[in-house]
Amino acid sequence: MTYDTYESSVEGSRPVEIYKVLLGLQEFFFTSGEDDLTVDGDVYEATEIKRSDIAMGKQTRAKVLTVEIAAGTTLAQRYVGPPPGQRATISIFRLQRTHGTGDKALIYSGTIKAVTFPKNGQFANMQCQTLEASTNRAVPRYTYMGMCNHLLYSTACGVTQASFQHVGLVSLVDNNLITINGLSASGLDVKGGYLDDSTNTEKRQILAVSGDIVTVLLPFENDPTGTSITAYAGCDRVVTSDCTTVFSNEERFGGCAFVPNRNPFTAGL
């Protein structure tokens, strides 16, 4: 009998769902079944996991899917304290126990938008939305403003990222204060930029710089002490400031820098 035959059977259908979550370079595998399952070489851990109904049709874009899982799982613990610095994607598949693990149907694919811990912290509720919902908002590509619209180091910006980086050894970590050897001597202004810990696939925004010490928005989940880390320069998006003095990129400035502050149509001449 085929998968479709079991799926449509009234008596023979024995469905089970498997959940695959990708967070940076980490992968997490869970199943709602009673026993662990091995599918395509990956072991899906049997755990207490359930979800809300999957919306169909036009509601799919706006509907939030809630996946509830035990708070003690490795995935849920990643959201205790400082949140991960990467986006997590989730895929849900449906199998038939009787048919085996050869065939599976993808029934949901999306991203984890938020995680809460209700029921006295015993469970984690992951709020998920489809990938389509993330691109469904009507957002203007460019806005009429004095600051640059381009994302730093993007194609539109044109700045070569490798030319504005410093790779140094992390000698000390004190909460969200990171000491990077040689940062001050490099002459690179990384305020407003970010740190990239490629070893643990974590990134953090830089809020302030004092010598070799940078203040990041949130502490790293994994202590980077003793490892190399990359600091990238930031940009204040002002044409007469960083755009020109740091990056010499005023020709690609993506804003309306010299718009008059006085509107003659509302304030008069």
Q: pTM of the predicted model, to two decimals?
A: 0.68
pLDDT at 229: 95
Does domain 161-252 match CATH 2.40.30.20? yes
pLDDT at 3: 53
pLDDT at 30: 95
CATH architecture label of 3-134:
Roll (2.30)
pLDDT in tens, 68-102: 999 999 999 988 877 787 889 999 998 877 655 56
Domain residues of the chain, as ranges? 3-134, 161-252
pLDDT in tens, 54-68: 877 665 556 789 999
pLDDT at 12: 55
DSSP track, the chain:
--HHHHHH-SSS--EEEEEEEEETTEEEEEESSSS-EEETTEEEEE--EEE-PPP-GGGGTTPPEEEEEETTSHHHHTTSSSPPSS-EEEEEEEEETTTEEEEEEEEEEEEEEEEE-HHHHTEEEEEEEEHHHHT-S---SS-SSSS--SPTTSTTT---GGGGEEEEEEEEEETTEEEETTHHHHT---TTSEEEETTTTEEEEEEEEETTEEEESS--SS--TTSEEEEE------TTTHHHHTT--GGG--S-TT--SS-HHHH--
3-134 against 161-252: fold identical: no
pLDDT at 96: 76
Residues of the chain under the 70 pLDDT cut: 1-14, 57-62, 98-102, 134-140, 269
